Amino acid sequence: MKRLLVVLGAACFVVLLIGAMLDLAPASIALHAAVSANLPSSGVEHPVTAVLLNFRGYDTLLEIAVLLLALIVILAIGIDSTTDVRPAASPVLQALARLAAPLMIVVAVYLLWVGAFRPGGAFQAGAVLAAAAVLLHLAELLPGWQSPGLRLRLGLAGGFLIFLAVAAGLLFQGALLEYPPEQAGWMILLIESGLTVSLGLILAGLFLLLSRDDGDRS
């Protein structure tokens, strides 16, 4: 009975919403035109990066805060995995991981740098860094994190703190996160570098904290 109701409801939803979308009038505001008009003053040449770090920098600031919060909650929950016995990693995987990890770091730096001109940026670079850490962990070259030390904590929070510091510094000369056009370029690069490191560590932490090998915690 419940199943039938849900399926019927979902079907009605699909029909109505697609019908409404086909019927929708053209948008009255053209956001892409506004973006390309203001692109020269944003400090970067790639529109998506300009939106992320400049026009809508507020969202990105809150996003990294949300990520940090998720990681802190995972730390607080604590998963004990006393019976976790993993099969040993194969030597082939270990050799491959040793080869791939440095390359992945190079790719991450490239993605970070290229984000100013074409698709790429802090998010993708952070994801690649995190993937490198996960690969090393699966090859048993990098142990799972028990409880992060001071340096790791600084790395995790650093991106958010740098972002917040720049945002607060800009408050004195106007609005939150409104960069002066001539300095926007390096400010965005600074924020993005911090974001890349922190995002990589946080995303890796989501995995490494969830798969701690031996549980000293209860």
Partner 1 sequence: MSLEFVFDLLLALAIIWSAWRSLSASRLDLAIVMFIVFGLLMALAWARLSASDIGLAEAAIGAGLTGALLLDAYGALKRREA
Partner 2 sequence: MSAGLLFASVGVILFALGVAGVLLLGHLLRRILAFNVMGSGAFLVLVGLAQRNGIADPVPQAMVLTGIVVAVAATALALALVRRLYVLTGKIELPQDDEG
Residues within the interface to partner 1 (CB under 8 A): 48, 81, 83-85, 111, 119-121, 123-124, 127-128, 130-131, 134, 203, 206-207, 210-211
- 105 backbone dihedrals φ, ψ, rounded to 5°: -65, -40
Q: Residues interacting with partner 2, by CB under 8 A? A: 1-3, 6-7, 10-11, 13-14, 17-18, 21-22, 24, 26-27, 31-32, 35, 47-48, 50-52, 55-56, 59-60, 63, 66-67, 70-71, 73-74, 77-80, 123, 199, 202-203, 206-207, 209-210
10 Å Cβ neighbour count for 137?
Answer: 20
Q: Read off the amino acid at residue 73.
A: V
**Helices assigned H by DSSP within 41-121:** 47-50, 57-77, 91-114
The overall longest dimension of the chain from CA atoms, in Å, is 64
Residue 163 binding partner per list partner 1, partner 2, none, with a CB distance cut-off of 5 to 8 Å that depends on partner kind: none
> What span, in angstroms and rounded, lies between the C-alpha atoms of 94 and 63?
34
Q: Choose between 38 and 81: whose C-beta lies nearer to partner 1.
A: 81
Residue 154 binding partner per list partner 1, partner 2, none, with a CB distance cut-off of 5 to 8 Å that depends on partner kind: none
> What span, in angstroms and rounded, lies between the C-alpha atoms of 62 and 165?
14
Question: For residue 180, is it left (φ>0), alpha (ψ between -120 and 50) or beta?
Answer: beta
Q: Provide the CA 21 distance to its chain's centre, in angstroms.
A: 31
* Closest distance of CB 133 from partner 1, Å: 10
Residue 71 binding partner per list partner 1, partner 2, none, with a CB distance cut-off of 5 to 8 Å that depends on partner kind: partner 2
* Closest distance of CB 146 from partner 2, Å: 15
Residue 201 binding partner per list partner 2, partner 1, none, with a CB distance cut-off of 5 to 8 Å that depends on partner kind: none
CB-CB contact of 135 with 100 (8 Å)? yes
Residue 131 binding partner per list partner 1, partner 2, none, with a CB distance cut-off of 5 to 8 Å that depends on partner kind: partner 1
* Closest distance of CB 72 from partner 2, Å: 10
DSSP 82: T
Q: Choose between 34 and 103: whose C-beta lies nearer to partner 2.
A: 34
